[in-house]
Structure 1
Amino acid sequence: MGAHESSGADLVHDQDLAPVEADRLIPRLVCESHTSRLDPSSSLNASRLDRSSTPHAWTRAEEASLQGLGLHFRGHDESEDSSNQGNFLELLRFLADHNEDIKAVTLRNAPENNMMISPAIQKDIVSAAAVETSNAIIMELGDAFFSVLIDESRDISTKEQMAVALRYVDKKGHVVERFLGIEHVTDTTALSLKAAVEDLFCRHGLSLSRLRGQGYDGASNMQGQFNGLKTLIMKENESAYYVHCFAHQLQLALVAVAKNNNKIATFFNFVANVVNIAGGSCKRLDLLKEKQATRVVESVHNGELPSGQGLNQETSLKRSCDTRWSSHYNTLISLIDMFPSIVDVLDDVAEDGATSELRGQAEHLSHFIQSFGFAFNFHLMRYILGVSNELSQALQRKDQDIVNAMKLVRMSKERLQIMRENGWSSLLDEVSTFCGINKIVVPNMDDIYVARGRSRCYTDGMTNLHFYRVELFYAIIDMQLQELNNRFTESNTELLLCVSCLSPSDFFATFDKQKLIRLAQFYPEDFSSSELMILSDQLDNYIYDVRSSIEFSKLEGICDLAQKMVETKKNVVYPLVYLLVTLDINFTSCDCHYGKSIFCYEDCEESIA
């Protein structure tokens, strides 16, 4: 696999088969060694000992074990005097110390200096395992249709890498996701990315004509290039439909789009810094909670907050990060709720911080967050992310309700459009009220806008009203609408709604024959006009059959349906229906584990070297 095999990234590539290899090799070798010690005169045990007690056999077993656990091979200091020579050598030494048969043929006792522990040999063995893993994946895939999942990942050496995974249905009806490889891309244009994908496919004997789905991480650094890539692939293969990869949180993609505006990018950087300073230590976090509790008690006493059971629970400062489990929306909510207490903590750190650097940073943050611009961006992004929050959560649930999710998509688009047309005044009023409560100066909207840190001599002549309403309010909402429209086009939204009719939940309650025929029409290469007529008849028989079968009564999703159809031979009885099911599994996402194989690459890039 070229550079991928020699880079050490094959540790991740090997994760699916490595545990199996370790489970197969290690117990067998250990058992054989113990058996041979009990009866060394046995000819059978002697032959086993000859076969297993070699440096190569134990090295392979040990490497399979380390790969299965995702552990680094190399140590910082592998000299004989080192107290920790790294996982590989330490594990081998442990095995030798606890088994005399292993000790007799490893390390210094290896025959003819054949220790098999050099970094080059470790890489060779793992690279060979990577090739075998790739071959096993391609063999398992066969001539089935598949979808491609691509993500940008920057490795520890800051090189841009394109990580590629495949999703397909195997011969047993199981939905399989396999990490295929990593391609280093020096030029991140759409054409270059497509060439890299084609090169990877060519090396593994894959064809773009068998591709039936595309998924990308819209929050990545190569977001714009991925948009171009999906367009290029669809020009060559119209059936390779794009859908938002449900493994990636939609909110992260929307935040990434908003960060294309420099002011919003700066805003989120300051939010991260505020969270790091105010909640960066146990002492400051306890101080923040104490100040917030005191403020809540005062507000209840003054009648500003209602009292009662379950009200005014302790809140905490939520940290956001760019992972599928994180939520920038919750971070903004907690910051707004605890804003006065956060300002107090920053002021305390500015006075009594441990270092001058920390004091200076806290003072700068305190001044910045007590500005109208920060307060405006605060509330703007809170409103925007609040509109799409339920949608983002719905797309990530295991029990994905596609119909409701698509309703949320439409609702989010409509609410953003309404907010753009009618929401300016209410937003400005809320920001002004917030500023009044927290003693933040509200600028006159008719005055000339002066950027923070700039002289009034160097202005663009625009008013505050124009800047905040046009350059921020309209611009950010338009970005969000464009991103939602790109991710959920009319065609793939209709496709998803049609796919939902295949769901076996509640005895196939959402079954709709006409929508399923419409779904098949999206794949003209796979369903001819005559096959569409046959499919119509098959669907009538199929739905009567499965609704009357107890075996199909407790299925939850399309992935379960594919597996059950194979188990009951329904894939043979209704081949066109099964083809439709497998095509749509490639297009949609079941319980997507894509992130597990892609993102752990960043940590394991240098596992060997």
Structure 2
Amino acid sequence: MSRIRGQGYDGASNMKGQINGLKSLILAENSSAYYIHCFAHQLQLALVAVAKNHLEVGDFFKTVNSVMNLIGASCKRSEFIRDAQVEKIAEAVAANERETGRGLNQEMALKRPGDTRWGSYYGALINLDSMFSAIIDVLDTIQNDPTSETDTAIDAWRMSITLQDFNFVFILKLMIEVLAITNELSLALQRKDQDIVNAMKLVRVSKTRLQEMRDNGWESLLDDVVSSCTKDSIHIPIMHDVYVLPGRSRRKAPDITNLHHFQVELFYMVVDMQLQELNNRFDEVNTRLLTCMTCFSPTSEFTAFDLEKLTCLTRFYPAEFGSIHDTIIRQQFIGYHCDVTADERFARLKGIDELSRVMVETKVHQSYPSVYLLLKLVLTLPVATASVERAFSALSYIKNKLRSRIGDQFANDCLVGYIEIDLLTHVDNECILHFFQNMKTRRGCL
């Protein structure tokens, strides 16, 4: 426990709770085990928060789930959607609206969005948009099918009306645009080789793209929605007419136009909520710690190097640097900076992970042990904590009902083999057999 220098997982109360959470229990034992919220999990929670906090977007996702449940409830309906999709693709190819070739026009299936699966919302909406016309045809088939139950036919009729509404199509296109921006960040943050410098850069890029979408993306989004509605014969409201809430009379309707509703109350509000969620959740990381860590970045010939910030960074780890005088540490940093900037082997490095590797290859880490120790501590901070969460998930495979009394050492050995499976694939089976055979004298030979 005393050797832990970083911890990261999702934001559940039993994990990051201030009183009895795992984070607090570990910090009580070791104050240098700095907690970083799982970046990839934060992003998924931000998307779910948008769906829940905005009433129209939340209702939109409920409708999407209902459509998935209705069509995917039976093999017969799944066959309906498959046949309808093939027919729509054939019509589009005949009208020269789709290109043909190897790998194009592949069969698609409806995906169910889930709060615990990264990118599931984005994939579900992409498929829904691509199969929109086929879904409408299937809903019409279900409600007109004499074998369908009355409740099922009513549900299909109601969903068909809801889907063929300008409001639904607008939110569909809007959420696809928003999730497309954050989906790239989510996929990048799940990479095992992601370091904290690049992670924070990706967060800033996503925020910038969302802000740019808010400032300049309205016209293009509206054109895309109008084009889709025209294609599927969906009524397009006049933007300067008075907006009427569904279920309310015009006399009690608020005095706003359709343009105000879709641009201000939907477009601006959803994007602003997304930006606010990103700012709030990614602000949990200690800003001072992150600022100091970025000084290790080797890009642009170590222009981010800052002696004062790196010296300050050592104070976060008193167990390692408490007994070393600041003057000694500062002199090592100065020598390290002069050494790496003058060596061509350290040029054109892209991240602190490459910096640590080259330092070992060139034996520079032996000349500046305090610098290399601090760099290793920076690398241990679990930024791409998708790997950490995968390690926790592996416990359900290793310690199952048949291994309920597994010991700690055997559990550790099994987990290493399961988590580091990419490395173990390069180990020859003959080496394992010889190692096992040579452990002690055995009656038989493997």
Global fold match (TM > 0.5):
yes
Question: For the Cα contact (< 8 Å) 1:278–1:285, is it kept in 2?
Answer: yes
Question: For residue 462 of structure 1, what is the aligned residue in structure 2?
Answer: 256
What one-letter code is carried by the residue in structure 1 that aligns with 2:309?
A: R
Matches within 5 A, 1:1-400: 141-142=1-2, 144-147=4-7, 149=9, 151-152=11-12, 162-164=13-15, 193-197=17-21, 201=25, 206-207=28-29, 209-215=31-37, 245-248=38-41, 250-352=43-145, 354-400=148-194
2: CA distance, partners of 1:379 / 1:466: 18
Question: For the Cα contact (< 8 Å) 1:249–1:392, is it kept in 2?
Answer: no
2: CA distance, partners of 1:307 / 1:199: 54
Question: For residue 52 of structure 1, what is the aligned residue in structure 2?
Answer: none
Instruction: Return the offset for 1:379.
Output: 0.8
Question: For the Cα contact (< 8 Å) 2:244–2:253, is it kept in 1?
Answer: yes
Secondary structure of residue in 2 paired with 1:514: coil
Question: For residue 538 of structure 1, what is the aligned residue in structure 2?
Answer: 332
Question: For the Cα contact (< 8 Å) 2:119–2:183, is it kept in 1?
Answer: no
1: CA distance, partners of 2:366 / 2:266: 54
What one-letter code is carried by the residue in structure 1 that aligns with 2:46?
A: A
Secondary structure of residue in 1 paired with 2:250: coil
What one-letter code is carried by the residue in structure 1 that aligns with 2:312?
A: Q
Question: For the Cα contact (< 8 Å) 1:402–1:497, is it kept in 2?
Answer: no
Question: For the Cα contact (< 8 Å) 2:15–2:23, is it kept in 1?
Answer: no
Instruction: Return the offset for 1:557.
Output: 7.8
Question: For residue 226 of structure 1, what is the aligned residue in structure 2?
Answer: none
Instruction: Return the offset for 1:315.
Output: 2.5
Instruction: Return the offset for 1:360.
Output: 1.9
Instruction: Return the offset for 1:322.
Output: 1.4
2: CA distance, partners of 1:327 / 1:510: 40
Instruction: Return the offset for 1:378.
Output: 0.5
Secondary structure of residue in 2 paired with 1:393: helix
* 2:305 pairs with 1:514: yes
Instruction: Return the offset for 1:146.
Output: 4.2
For the structure 1 residues 492 and 323, does the alpha-carbon distance in structure 2 shift closer, same or farther, using more than 3 Å as the test? same
* 2:376 pairs with 1:581: yes
Instruction: Return the offset for 1:444.
Output: 2.0
Question: For the Cα contact (< 8 Å) 1:212–1:587, is it kept in 2?
Answer: no
Counting matched residue pairs gives: 386
What one-letter code is carried by the residue in structure 2 that aligns with 1:592?
A: S
What one-letter code is carried by the residue in structure 2 that aligns with 1:593?
A: V
Question: For the Cα contact (< 8 Å) 1:292–1:341, is it kept in 2?
Answer: yes
Secondary structure of residue in 1 paired with 2:36: strand
For the structure 1 residues 340 and 213, does the alpha-carbon distance in structure 2 shift closer, same or farther, using more than 3 Å as the test? same
For the structure 1 residues 368 and 205, does the alpha-carbon distance in structure 2 shift closer, same or farther, using more than 3 Å as the test? closer
What one-letter code is carried by the residue in structure 2 that aligns with 1:333?
A: I
Structure (1/2) with the larger strand percentage: 1
Instruction: Return the offset for 1:471.
Output: 1.1
Most deviating of 290-299 and 446-455: 446-455
Encode CA deviations 1:129-176: one digit per residue, 9 max, x unaligned: xxxxxxxxxxxx126544354532xxxxxxxxx3228xxxxxxxxxxx
Structure (1/2) with the larger helix percentage: 2
Encode CA deviations 1:555-607: one digit per residue, 9 max, x unaligned: x9859969x98xx9x79972464145225523634662325537989xx9x99
For the structure 1 residues 196 and 460, does the alpha-carbon distance in structure 2 shift closer, same or farther, using more than 3 Å as the test? farther
Instruction: Return the offset for 1:383.
Output: 1.0
Question: For residue 414 of structure 2, what is the aligned residue in structure 1?
Answer: none
2: CA distance, partners of 1:200 / 1:503: 30
* 2:275 pairs with 1:481: yes
For the structure 1 residues 588 and 512, does the alpha-carbon distance in structure 2 shift closer, same or farther, using more than 3 Å as the test? farther
Question: For the Cα contact (< 8 Å) 2:295–2:309, is it kept in 1?
Answer: no
Secondary structure of residue in 2 paired with 1:194: coil
- TM-score normalised according to structure 2 size: 0.71
Instruction: Return the offset for 1:368.
Output: 0.6
For the structure 1 residues 502 and 428, does the alpha-carbon distance in structure 2 shift closer, same or farther, using more than 3 Å as the test? same
What one-letter code is carried by the residue in structure 2 that aligns with 1:380?
A: L
For the structure 1 residues 145 and 299, does the alpha-carbon distance in structure 2 shift closer, same or farther, using more than 3 Å as the test? closer
Matches within 5 A, 1:417-436: 417-436=211-230
Give 5+ residue unaligned stretches, structure 2: 344-350, 405-446
Encode CA deviations 1:395-427: one digit per residue, 9 max, x unaligned: 111222655544433332222222222222222
For the structure 1 residues 498 and 315, does the alpha-carbon distance in structure 2 shift closer, same or farther, using more than 3 Å as the test? farther
1: CA distance, partners of 2:27 / 2:6: 13
2: CA distance, partners of 1:599 / 1:263: 38
Question: For the Cα contact (< 8 Å) 1:318–1:334, is it kept in 2?
Answer: yes
Secondary structure of residue in 2 paired with 1:311: coil
Question: For residue 13 of structure 1, what is the aligned residue in structure 2?
Answer: none
Instruction: Return the offset for 1:489.
Output: 4.9
